[in-house]
Structure 1
Amino acid sequence: MIILGVSAFFHDSAAALLVDGQLVAAAEEERFSRYKHDSRFPVHAIRFCLESAGLRPGDVDHVVFYEKPRIKAERAITTILAGAPATYGPFRRFLAHGGQRQAVRDLICATVGVRPHQVLFVEHHLSHAASSFFASPFASAATLTIDGVGEWATTSIGVGYADWRGGGTNRLQLLQTLHFPHSLGMLYSAFTEFLGFQVNEGEYKVMGLAAYGTPRHRAEIDRVARCYDDGSLWLDMRYFRYHRSTRHGFHPRLAELLGVPPCRPGVELDPTAAGPAGELARRYADIAASLQQFTEDAVVAMARRAVAVTGQRRLCLAGGVALNGVANYQVLQRAGVEELYISPAPGDSGGALGAALYAHHVLLGRPRTWVMEHAYWGARSTPGQVVDILDRAGIAYTRHDDPAELSQAVADLLADGAVVGWFQDRFEWGPRALGNRSILADPRGPGVKDLINKKVKFREPFRPFAPAMLADRAPEYVDGGGTEQWPTRFMLMVMPLAAQFGATAPAVNHFGTGRVQTVTATSNPLFHAVIDRFQDRTGLGCVLNTSFNLRGEPIVATPQEALSTFDRSELDALVMENCVISRS
């Protein structure tokens, strides 16, 4: 049984391919189009998935779309009519683009070579929940999906039961939902826009900025949004416009309430700076901290509700809000959850995989045979292809055909202070670079963080970097437990760092916390070997890991893109497969 899942038309469109229930390929369209958060129909990602399995258009049994366009159109029309005449602009844009959404089936048939009866549609939040539950190792679990909006749902609680042996029944049902416009995801995005960042791109910047502030504006946040003990959420829509406009998320009266004007897009915020610019940045940081604190409390309340409603102590978290690593850790600490699973792509791109998994296991009744233990499902380049590209370009390199020699050479570069572009095997599924498309550095240097932000990534100075650590050293490096949980494999939890480790590795210490990645020899043998050899040199079983891209660009996917990024940055070395290129 060959099933292709597809997500498109909002942000982060993607495709994922299952063969007999096993994932064989998954990728976001942006990696091929080079347009960040590309929302267009994922023609390139679909082609990659089919080619990865040696398939042609027409070989697929079913294509599954990650939401139901008719219900989504109903919500759009209802919202537009309720806001008329102020919603004339959104109405014109709906007429221009709504037809594309309604013609999803025809577009899929033309692209994939299937007939209309082979195209299936799964509700948006079911796709999200399935992307986590049916990728997890759990036989049963509660599901919690929190995002901006699907068709109508903005938050949903569900429960899943898996048939691992055959002869049973897989079940995944949503039990309770919150509806648009009351949305934690849209609240966070509205404040993201208020702080001058791009919606669906800058939310993680808000989380990083929050660490520089104090929640002085929590009372104002509680005035415009309330989360109750049962996990339900209410927003005072007088302060927001996302339900009336596709261009602006907040109303001017929000600025009046906060006593701070909205930050202009493109303004570089530096809360560490002196003078009026730094003072203003710190005021925005206080707003970010207030929002982040509210978000953490809301997610914890929703998770507690999921545990209470389902009676399950295992939780599968999904939706764009599941990328908030600080909130994820609070769920584990405060919500009565014993085990937590989050897919490496919990946002809309992951809906492509979730739709395929739901169709395979629930609609078609096939038993489970697979757990997502790693995130490396994208395209690869072979060592031979890399050598050919370098030779044709006349670029000098050193070749290490022995993996042990290669890992030692890279560890030595890092220990000697080099910042290294690291390009290996298949690229990652989801927004995190997890050791195949990464920039690596020694985390011990006090100036490394500022150097990489300024001269390599060309991004805001307050942005933190992740510690990628050997899994067996994680209990020593991280306080409070939780390093054995699945989200740490995918860099989806921000956790308190042990004081000694934080002092030893200041470049990955963000106010005493880090977005931890635990690395095992099973999940990524070569990356694990590099960190292990680095530990032999330095005594520290951890390296700095950040995504291999420049600001505003998708993570690199091909050797040519890696070389271009190397050329346009101040990386000291580039390692592609078994070839090491030095800046000198």
Structure 2
Amino acid sequence: GLDGVPVSRFHHHSNHAASAYYGLRKNWHEPHLLFTLDGGGDDACAQVHLAENGTLRLLAATPTGHSLGNIYAAATHMLGMRPHEHEYKMMGLAPYADPEQAGLQAKVFARYLDLDPADPLRFRRTIPERTSAMLPRLLRDFRLVRFDLVAAGLQRFTEDLVLRWIAGAVEKTGVRKVLAAGGVFMNVKANQRIASWPGLEYFDVFPSCGDETLPFGAVWQCHVRQGGALSDIRFDDLYLGPEAGTDLSDARARYGRVVEFQELDDPELRTAELLAQGHIVARCSGRMEFGARALGNRSILADPSKPSVVQTINRLIKQRDFWMPFAPAVLGERACEYVHVPATLPQPRISPHMMHAFDTTERRADLTAAVHPADATARVQTVWKELNPSFHRLIEAFGRLTGRGVLLNTSFNLHGYPIVSGACDAIEVLLKSGLDDLVVDRWLIRKRGAREAGGPPSAPSVSGLSGQR
């Protein structure tokens, strides 16, 4: 047990705030505002902190029961999706709706929750029941409203309310450097609205900022409380998981009869060549990403200039909802060719963890399969040589072959299942899907008897897909 082991306890929202501040602050000496927002934790669903010289000071807290996160989750549930998991589908659905009609539905949501008139750094519900118990009200109020209008109204309401909250705190404190964490800030379209607001000087969101990253804030707070130097706190990336090849020997023994292994002299170049030829390639390389985003090491990759790959990927493996877009991974040094970057975002490392959405430039045809078809935005991962040298080298090689420094990147998993971890997981997905090309570190792995280059993709295994959700 933990008898005799010293235990330090920190508030749920202070952990969110600390993860953003210690991980993303622009510098130590200037003040930053920290916003945390989620369904609830440790008696609060939102907090605002002021941070300076390594110290956090609480300015305002919203108690549970007044939660924007609760409302978003309840609306997700109302439309038949899983709350606390499928909110991103609501966000992806919203741009398809008529903007004028979306505004009308946003006004309905605005009747439930607003800023507290006594303290605009807090939220206050305007209905009698707690926000966690409002599903019956939503079912009544939206009974005859089309599903896309519900999603669009909810998204508009969310963006407007969060931006007003942040703007009020900036006006009250005069601090224009803002950092954010908590599950609501996984909403990249809301983040895009915030980053584009001219009242900010600096803005960023901690990666995978749901409760899975609370330990980052707890560890950093403990370090500071125990007298640790601020200069010792450093956050670079989320490649924190196991190496892809840890179980490679086991995979060769277990699957050698059904797949063939070809060792590659240059795996990044060979992968780029396959992608340039129109192949869809699964990549399991290096350390696994921590958190909600696939960042190139456990990814399915494709040429995003070909719109047909969306249907192919969905048919072969992903089976995503028809309205959901894929995302692009772009060479960091070429990001401005493809998207408009707000001046508030950290430079030069803009969105290395897919926490922001962007308007695309006139070169959007180069990444059309990874752009939202309704509003031409993209949830971009910028790839930097110093953070992920092998993935950067792969996209660079693809760029030399095609002139396009961008790939479609989606998580490497069967629909409804976790992202693969190592070689055995990766080969299981290869065998249970229509994928043909898998690269695990230096090995190109294919089903025995698979198609020759240029042939049609394999059909998915019916038995392998039967367990998917």
Same fold (TM over 0.5): yes
Match of 2:277 in 1: 416
Letter matched to residue 158 of structure 2: T
Match of 1:399 in 2: 263
Match of 1:390 in 2: 252
CA RMSD of superposed structures (Å): 2.1
Provide closer, same or farther for how the CA distance between residues 181 and 487 of structure 1 changes in structure 2, counting only shifts above 3 A.
Answer: farther
SS of residue paired to 1:285: helix
Contact 1:342 1:487 survives alignment (8 Å): no
Deviations 1:521-566 (A, max 9, x none): 1111110111111111111100000111122111111221111111
Match of 1:30 in 2: none
Contact 1:239 1:254 survives alignment (8 Å): no
SS of residue paired to 1:408: helix
Give the Cα separation in 2 of the matches to 1:361 and 1:119. 15
Letter matched to residue 38 of structure 2: D
Letter matched to residue 525 of structure 1: P
Give the Cα separation in 2 of the matches to 1:582 and 1:527. 21
Give the Cα separation in 2 of the matches to 1:566 and 1:151. 42
Match of 2:365 in 1: 503
Provide closer, same or farther for how the CA distance between residues 473 and 191 of structure 1 changes in structure 2, counting only shifts above 3 A.
Answer: same
**Where does 1:246-265 land on structure 2 (aligned, <5 Å)?**
250-251=135-136, 253-260=137-144
Deviations 1:319-368 (A, max 9, x none): 00110001111111116222223222311011112111111113545433
- 1:132 maps to 2:20: yes
Letter matched to residue 334 of structure 2: R
Give the Cα separation in 2 of the matches to 1:531 and 1:340. 27
Give the Cα separation in 2 of the matches to 1:195 and 1:363. 47
Match of 1:175 in 2: 59
Give the Cα separation in 2 of the matches to 1:518 and 1:349. 22
Cα offset, 1:481, TM superposition? 3.1
1:533 alignment partner, one of 373, 378, 397: 397
Match of 1:235 in 2: 125
Contact 1:190 1:240 survives alignment (8 Å): no
Give the Cα separation in 1 of the matches to 2:408 and 2:129. 40
- Judge which range, 233-242 or 450-459, deviates more: 233-242
Cα offset, 1:259, TM superposition? 3.3
Provide closer, same or farther for how the CA distance between residues 335 and 157 of structure 1 changes in structure 2, counting only shifts above 3 A.
Answer: farther
Provide closer, same or farther for how the CA distance between residues 362 and 487 of structure 1 changes in structure 2, counting only shifts above 3 A.
Answer: farther
SS of residue paired to 1:217: helix
1:551 alignment partner, one of 415, 418, 430: 415
Match of 2:39 in 1: 148
Report the TM-score, using the length of structure 2 for normalisation. 0.87
Seq. identity, %: 34
Contact 1:132 1:317 survives alignment (8 Å): yes
- 1:203 maps to 2:65: no
Give the Cα separation in 1 of the matches to 2:197 and 2:116. 16
Contact 1:466 1:508 survives alignment (8 Å): yes
Give the Cα separation in 1 of the matches to 2:324 and 2:433. 17
Match of 1:40 in 2: none
Match of 1:167 in 2: none
Match of 1:213 in 2: 97
**Where does 1:460-475 land on structure 2 (aligned, <5 Å)?**
460-475=321-336
SS of residue paired to 1:126: helix
Match of 2:384 in 1: 520
Letter matched to residue 255 of structure 2: A
Match of 2:235 in 1: 372
For structure 1, which runs of at least 5 residues remain unmatched after alignment? 1-109, 163-169, 244-248, 262-282
Give the Cα separation in 2 of the matches to 1:124 and 1:363. 19
- 1:455 maps to 2:316: yes
Give the Cα separation in 1 of the matches to 2:392 and 2:88. 27
Give the Cα separation in 1 of the matches to 2:250 and 2:281. 21
Provide closer, same or farther for how the CA distance between residues 569 and 458 of structure 1 changes in structure 2, counting only shifts above 3 A.
Answer: same
Match of 2:462 in 1: none
Contact 2:65 2:131 survives alignment (8 Å): no
- 1:294 maps to 2:184: no
Give the Cα separation in 2 of the matches to 1:382 and 1:564. 15
Contact 1:520 1:528 survives alignment (8 Å): yes
Match of 1:284 in 2: 147
Give the Cα separation in 1 of the matches to 2:187 and 2:324. 14
Match of 1:226 in 2: 114
Letter matched to residue 451 of structure 1: T
Deviations 1:468-503 (A, max 9, x none): 0011111111125356555611101111111x3222
Contact 2:114 2:124 survives alignment (8 Å): yes
Give the Cα separation in 2 of the matches to 1:311 and 1:363. 31
Match of 1:350 in 2: 213
SS of residue paired to 1:427: strand
Give the Cα separation in 1 of the matches to 2:338 and 2:379. 12
Letter matched to residue 287 of structure 2: R
Contact 1:491 1:517 survives alignment (8 Å): yes
Cα offset, 1:391, TM superposition? 4.9
Cα offset, 1:130, TM superposition? 0.8
Contact 1:129 1:318 survives alignment (8 Å): yes
Contact 2:204 2:346 survives alignment (8 Å): no
Letter matched to residue 581 of structure 1: I
Contact 2:62 2:122 survives alignment (8 Å): yes
